Amino acid sequence: MTDNNWTLGILGGSGLYDLDGLENPEWIEIDTPWGKPSDAILFAELEGVKLRFLPRHGRGHKLSPTSVNYRANIDALKRAGCTDILSLSAVGSLQEPYAPGDFVIVDQFIDRTFAREKSFFGPGMVAHVSVADPVCDRLARLAGNAAIAAGAHVHRGGTYLAMEGPQFSTRAESELYRGWRCDVIGMTNMPEAKLAREAELPYATVAMVTDFDCWHPGHENVDVFAVIATLTKNAEIAKGTVREIIKIIAQTPRTPSPAGIETNLDAALITAPDARDPKVLAKLDAILARVLGADKA
C-alpha cells in the first residue's frame, strides 16, 4: 500500500480501537517527559492509513477529566508520528437545536477549566501560540463529511464550553453558559486543543450530544445512566465516522495545513536562544523537534 503521509491520531473512548479490519494492531507504551499518558497507544493501519488510538480516560475509563494527563497524551501522540488529531467526545447540549444523538463539529472553545496544566511552555522556554481559531478547518470539514456518511445528524460549527468537572453543571451555571451562546458543554477538550496547537498538530472535534445538561424543562437532569445510554446508541456511528474519514484521507495525499498549523511555533517562541534553559528544552524535544532541527541546520 502507498503511504499517503497521513498518520491520524484518534483520542476517544471505548470501542473505537475495536474497528474491524485493523491491520498490524499493536499496543505500545510511550514514555514522555510529562509523565504517563492515559494508556498505551494502539498502532494500526486501515485502508493504507496509519492510525494511532489513545483512549483518553484509559481502557476501562479509569481517569476522570481532571486527572487525565493532557500534556503527556499530546506529547505521546507527537512521538508516535501523528500528523493530525481527531477527538471524539461526549457533550451535553446547551441549545435546543443540538439534540441528544446529534453530532457537532466544534469550531470554537471557551475554557473554564482551572485544575490542569495547560501548556508545554513556561519558565526557561516561553511561547505564546495563537488559538484564535483552535480547530483545523480542513480536518473538521473532513470529519463532518465522514460523520454524515456514517449516518449522523451533523451540525457544522458550534462553541464548546469546557468545564472542570467531574460534577455536572448547576442549573445556574448551565443558564449562564447558554447566555454566553455556548452550544455544547464537556470536560475534556481543553487544554487538549491548546496543547495540540502548541505541538503543531491540526486538531478537530466530533462532539456527540448525550443530553440537555440541566437547563431544559422538558428533560430530566443529566446523569451517568442517560449519558451511557445515548453513547451506546452513538457507538456504531462513531465507529462509522472513523471508518469514513479513513476512506476519505486514504484517497487524499496529505499536504500541509492551509492554516500553517505545522509551523505556528515560528511566530510563537519568545525566549532568546541564549536564554533558553537546556533542561526545559530537553523536555520539549518532541514538541520542538522541527524548530530545534531547523536551528541546527
Higher pLDDT, 79 or 228: 79
| Arithmetic mean of pLDDT, 232-258 | 91
Percentages helix, strand, coil for the chain, rounded to the nearest 5? 30, 25, 45
pLDDT at 1 over 80: no
Catalytic residue, candidates 213, 223, 274, 285:
213
Q: Looking at the predicted structure, is the pLDDT value of residue 15 above 80?
A: no
Alpha helices in the chain (DSSP H): 70-79, 137-149, 171-179, 189-198, 224-250, 278-283, 289-296
Q: Are 154 and 148 in contact (CB under 8 A)?
A: yes
Cis peptide before 134 (omega within 30 of 0): no
- pTM score, two decimals? 0.93
Tell whether 61 is covered by a domain: no
Q: Are 135 and 193 in contact (CB under 8 A)?
A: yes
Strands (DSSP E) found in the chain: 7-12, 23-28, 41-46, 49-55, 84-93, 103-105, 108-111, 154-156, 159-162, 184-186, 203-211
- Please determine, for residue 231, whether its predicted confidence score (pLDDT) is greater than 70: no
- pLDDT category at 216 given cuts 50, 70, 90 is low
In a 3-state reduction of DSSP, which class is residue 193?
helix
- The CATH number for 179's domain is 3.40.50.1580
Q: Which amino acid is at 242?
A: V
Determine the residue type at 35. Answer: G
* Residue 220 DSSP code: P
Does residue 35 sit within a domain?
no
Cβ pair 138, 201 in contact under 8 A: no
Does residue 260 lie in a domain region?
Answer: yes
Tens digit of each residue's pLDDT (9 = 90 or more) over 187-204: 999 999 999 999 999 999
pLDDT band at 86 (very low <50, low <70, confident <90, very high): very high
pLDDT of 218 higher than 80:
no
- At 38 the pLDDT is 97
Please indicate whether residue 213 is annotated as part of the active site.
yes
Q: Kindly tell me if the per-residue pLDDT of 296 is higher than 70.
A: no
What share of the chain in percent tops pLDDT 70? 91
DSSP state of 145: H
- Write down the catalytic residue from 107, 211, 266, 274: 211
Report, as an integer, the average pLDDT of 277-288: 97
Q: What is the pLDDT of residue 81?
A: 98
User: Cα dihedral angle (249, 59, 25, 284), rounded to 10 degrees?
Assistant: 70
Q: Is residue 183 part of a domain?
A: yes
* Per-residue pLDDT at 222: 57
Question: Which bin fits 260, alpha (ψ -120 to 50), beta or left (φ > 0)?
Answer: left
At 178 the three-state DSSP class reads: helix
Q: Does the pLDDT of residue 85 top 50, yes or no?
A: yes
Average pLDDT over residues 12-33: 88
Tell me if the bond preceding 273 is cis, omega within 30° of 0. no
Residue 187 lies in a domain: yes
Identify which has the larger pLDDT, 20 or 148. 148
Tally of domains in the chain = 1
C-alpha to C-alpha distance for 71 and 201, rounded to whole angstroms? 13
Does residue 132 sit within a domain?
yes
Q: Please report which confidence band the pLDDT of residue 226 belongs to, taking 50, 70 and 90 as the band edges.
A: low
The answer as to whether 79 is a domain residue is no
Residue 2 has pLDDT above 50, yes or no: no
Domain of residue 164 covers: 87-296
Res 59: pLDDT: 93
33: in domain: no
- Provide the 3-class DSSP secondary structure of residue 219: coil
Task: Using the predicted structure, report yes or no on whether residue 219 has a pLDDT greater than 90.
Answer: no
pLDDT at residue 213, rounded to an integer: 74
Q: Over 50: is that where the pLDDT of 98 sits?
A: yes
124 backbone φψ class: left, alpha, beta (φ>0; ψ -120 to 50): left
Q: Mean pLDDT, to the nearest integer, of 204-225? A: 74
Q: Is the pLDDT of residue 297 over 60?
A: no
